A and B are shown apart, each in its own frame.
Chain A
Amino acid sequence: MKLSALVLNREDNVATAVRQLQSGNSIVVEIDDSVVSVVLSQSIPLGHKLALKDIERGERIIKYGETIGQATVKINRGEHVHIHNVEGLRGRGDIP
């Protein structure tokens, strides 16, 4: 089966696109044994992430079941998740 996006842990709130995905398309991802469908509000380049649920500003982004950063703005389900709406929390010498 040609997968669209991968979810690595049931705790994750993002999926990783394993193909170029078009805005407006509905994709299906597997989370453990269940199947979830997400309508994309933006195109997602290969290897980039999409939100599996609505994520509030300041909420942690979870991938591999671990924190990879936090949302800098509210991110809606189906949106592209990347540096424009997520920041890392480690190695931040720029924050006093």
Chain B
Amino acid sequence: MNFMGYRRNSGSIGTRNHVLVFPTVICASAVADMISQAVPGTVSVTHSHGCGHLGEEKEHIVRAMVGFCSHPNVAGVLLVGLGCELITPELIAEGIMKVGQRFEMVSIQAEGGTTATLEKGKVLAAELLKEAARARREPVDISELILGTNCGGSDTMSGLTANPALGVACDSLVAEGVTVLLSETPEMIGAEQVLVKRAASEAVKKRIWEITAATESLAIKAGVDIRGTEPSPGNIEGGLTTLEEKSLGAVLKGGTSTIKQVINYAEKPSEKGLVIMDGPAHDAVCNTGMIAAGAQVIVFTTGRGTPLGAPVVPVIKVSSNNGVYQHMKDNIDINAGGILDGEESVETVGERILREIIEVASGKTSRAEILGHGEFAIHSLGLSV
């Protein structure tokens, strides 16, 4: 099975060919955005990080930024810094150089203010765009793909239709050598017993119990009921009663394959097949982490409906019921609601999702891309001062 992708110097395959303007610190966010606005065809993101991070938090944020900026969907990146920050363009560039990807840097204090940085940044971004335009798609084996899975705005239908259908697609892809990422650790609480049965080793089994226990202990230590946020108010309105119920439906989206590895947030998987990425259930944070881990396509299931996309990586949206599909049609790529009417089986919807993944990987634009959704958020460990 093949798709049409961009082969990068790193050896990784891109499904898109973006030029990214990336602020390494929030103080450079506005200037990065101005550069991107001034150079049509580039994309930029905004975030609140880059300074004040302690110890492990710094490594965690740097890993996410390097993974995102050196993603194979990014043909070239312009790193924009301030000058006195903790996470400088130079620091992120060190990581980018390891994969041999094209980058440029500009810093506001060195250039002498907003206007001077904007002028220099425009020239550099335009140069990166010119180089990126030379990239061509070529046929590549599907096993070069890392697929991210996510679900948000779930209802009880998600666990009956969209998630098991995505699971069918994931199982087919894993059989072809694809890496599939399953994340959202809070939504594994109550479903560990299902996951550990499929662990490839005792070490993987132990890690699954460890990551869910660590997440559950956040609620225990805070002295709160996790149901204050999981399930969310919208989940409850949709019929989900407890976190355990939500989790058992959520983990179906990764399919039924052997779980080969458990990785940290934004860490690159070293195994093919189904891999769990430890991380929060926050939709945008999860997407960003999977992109930093190398996912070139994300499939996102929803029952309540969400417009969420991601910068530089296409997000395919699958609705769990006909109602939300009819109501929010412009945000949904595939409707799994026909399963409830007996019009379609879980397997046939799974096959449709699989075909869509290959088409979108090869260049077909997803609804979230058409509508301009590029939500971006990096996970924080809360170790910032």
Q: Shortest Cβ distance from B35 into chain A, in angstroms?
A: 43
Q: How distant is the Cα of A68 from the Cα of B247 in the complex, in angstroms?
A: 9
CB nearest to A80 among chain B residues: B239
Neighbour of A68 across the interface among B227, B248, B341, CB < 8 A: B248
Residues of A within 8 A of B244 (CB): 66-69, 88-90
Q: Shortest Cβ distance from A89 into chain B, in angstroms?
A: 7
Describe A's contact surface by its main secondary structure.
loop
Q: How distant is the Cα of A18 from the Cα of B323 in the complex, in angstroms?
A: 12
Q: How distant is the Cα of A83 from the Cα of B303 in the complex, in angstroms?
A: 19
Q: Which of B124-161 contact A (CB under 8 A)?
A: 155-157, 159-160
Question: In the complex the two chains form, is A91's CB within 8 Å of B156's CB?
Answer: no
A-B contact count (CB 8 A): 113
Question: In the complex the two chains form, is A63's CB within 8 Å of B245's CB?
Answer: yes
Residues of A within 8 A of B224 (CB): 93-94
Question: In the complex the two chains form, is A82's CB within 8 Å of B239's CB?
Answer: yes
Q: Shortest Cβ distance from B326 into chain A, in angstroms?
A: 14
Question: In the complex the two chains form, is A90's CB within 8 Å of B241's CB?
Answer: no
Question: In the complex the two chains form, is B243's CB within 8 Å of A3's CB?
Answer: no
Interface-lining segment among B6-14, B106-114, B190-198, B288-296: B190-198
Question: In the complex the two chains form, is A69's CB within 8 Å of B220's CB?
Answer: no
Q: A91-B227, A93-B222, A93-B226 are in contact. Are A63 and B239 (CB under 8 A)?
A: no
B344 close to A (CB within 8 Å): no
Known: A82-B241, A91-B189. 10 other contacts (CB 8 A): A16-B160, A46-B157, A48-B239, A68-B244, A68-B248, A69-B245, A88-B226, A91-B220, A91-B227, A94-B225
Subset of 9 A-B contacts with CB under 8 Å: A46-B157, A47-B155, A47-B303, A48-B156, A86-B241, A88-B225, A88-B244, A91-B189, A92-B220
